[in-house]
Structure 1
Amino acid sequence: MEAMLVSACLRGVPCRFDGKHKASPEVEDAVAGRAVVPFCPEVAGGLVTPRRPAELVGGDGYDVLDGTARVVEDTGRDVTAEFLDGARRALAAARNGGCTEALLMPRSPSCGRGAVYDGSFTGRLVPGDGVTAALLQRNGIAVRPAPGV
């Protein structure tokens, strides 16, 4: 059975910034028949639940990996180190679990794939990927956003 890394919030774990989860029938259908490795990079990186909302500032997850952008809470607190640590831990979990693919939470500064919030905390989306999504992709793990979320 092929393994897939899945954002823990999509598996019903209340680990989102707002203390909620995002489990859905569409996600269950997407992972049916797969071994699932649930993982929350933000919690693994040392952030608490619930926590302040955070967004990418100055670029996307690839830019954070390259040191030219950062992740900042709505208070201005820089949480880049926590997001990088969580991304590294997610990659290790994916490798340990034999995952070749990841199904991640859309729009998240960690897990977003294809679109992320622009850093203004106004709900505006821009093209890009989150920190964990970028690191996984750089290491050959295919990433796709969860359907129906």
Structure 2
Amino acid sequence: MKYLISACLLGQAVRYDGGHCLVNALEQLLATGQAVAFCPEVAGGLSIPRLPAEIVAGDGQAVLSGQAKVLDSAGDDMTAAFILGAQRCLALAQQHQVSHVVLKANSPSCGSTQIYDGSFSGQKIDGQGVTAALLHQHGFHVMSEQEFLQQLQ
């Protein structure tokens, strides 16, 4: 199997706050050449650090269809950067012929089952982030780091 994994889960300091969320079991996949690291938000042109962003009025599917936007906490529209990052992630996944994608839970890019609701209050809703939605549309098996770890048990 070949994996595409959120760079923050591999210890790269690419999160909006300049941090990471290292998952040691995933780092082993990278070390053995079974994984490719990618951060769609950075690939879309966003800086590190950056203001937190959430999808407003929907989820990643709604963003891709033009029915929702990604806004940062100052109200600036980040939608174009999130879509560009998702498209670049899709191209990389196709180029490397990955079979599984492990993305950071709850992220407006990478959330695979839940995302924050757009109110910046910490509330979550069911739905996918922009990158997760685009990869899912193209037939990739997308999971969160928790789902990946559960499979190891």
Q: TM-score range by the shorter chain?
A: over 0.9
Give the structure with the larger helix fraction. 2
> What secondary structure sits across from 1:143 in the alignment?
strand
TM-score, normalisation: structure 2? 0.91
How many residues are matched? Answer: 147
* Residue identity opposite 2:15 in structure 1: R
Q: CA deviation at 1:27?
A: 3.5
Alignment of 1:5-84 (within 5 A): 5-28=4-27, 35-84=34-83
Gaps of 5+ in 2: none
> What secondary structure sits across from 1:99 in the alignment?
coil
Gaps of 5+ in 1: none
> What secondary structure sits across from 1:72 in the alignment?
strand
Cross-structure match for 2:91: 92
TM-score, normalisation: structure 1? 0.93
Residues 34 and 127 (structure 1), Cα distance of their counterparts in 2 relative to 1, 3 Å cut: farther
Counterpart check, 1:141 vs 2:140: yes
* Residue identity opposite 2:8 in structure 1: C
Q: Is the 8 A contact 1:100 1:140 kept in 2?
A: no
RMSD, aligned α-carbons: 1.6
Q: Is the 8 A contact 1:16 1:49 kept in 2?
A: yes
Cross-structure match for 1:127: 126
Q: Spell out, residue by residue over 1:101-136, the C-alpha distance to the aligned partner (whole angstroms, 9 max, x if none).
A: 100000000000110000000000000000000000
Q: Is the 8 A contact 1:4 1:34 kept in 2?
A: no
> What secondary structure sits across from 2:21 in the alignment?
coil
> What secondary structure sits across from 2:92 in the alignment?
helix
Name the % identity: 47
Structure possessing the higher relative contact order (Cα contacts under 8 Å, 6 or more residues apart): 1
